[in-house]
Amino acid sequence: MKLNSIKPAEGAKHAARRVGRGIGSGLGKTAGRGHKGQKSRAGGYHKVGFEGGQMPLQRRLPKRGFKSVLLKYNAEVTLSALDRLGLAEVDLLALKSAGLVGQIARVVKVIKSGSISKAVKLSGIGATAGAKAAIEAAGGSVA
């Protein structure tokens, strides 16, 4: 193989579409732009969502709802996940290393889903009222 013999793969290159170069090319006269109108002219086009002066759809519909940007820092852990973890003392770092919560999580709360049989001591982690009762019934504690 020589540098002067290297060619692109078959079908990888396509000839550029040369418009406005005469009737024989098939793209002469209007050059594929149709007749008249805004879209046929150079530099003539409208902005995204423009409906010709009619009130655009995104302005006709009401604004609704709100999503906090801080939600991505919150995480939940179930009682059954804590039971499977099998640690006596659980904190945020332990949950992150086990992969139960994301690495960016700052606030973690235990929810009552499933059951727990082992005694677990939570430190720096919140729990719902039901989850707290279940953990304390199993001999654990919530700090």
Whether residue 1 has pLDDT greater than 90: no
pLDDT score recorded for residue 45: 84
Find, among 97, 88, 98, 96, the residue nearest to 122 by Cα.
88
Question: What value does the mean pLDDT of the chain take?
Answer: 94
Record the tokens describing residue 7, joined without a space: 């060619």
Sequence-separated (6 or more) residues with CB below 8 Å from residue 4: none
pLDDT tens, position by position, 77-118: 999 999 999 899 999 999 999 999 999 999 999 999 999 999
**Domains in the chain: ranges and CATH:** 69-142 (3.100.10.10)
- Verdict on whether the full-model pTM lies above 0.85: no
Residues 40 and 20: beta-carbon distance below 8 Å: no
Rg (CA), the chain: 32
pLDDT score recorded for residue 86: 87
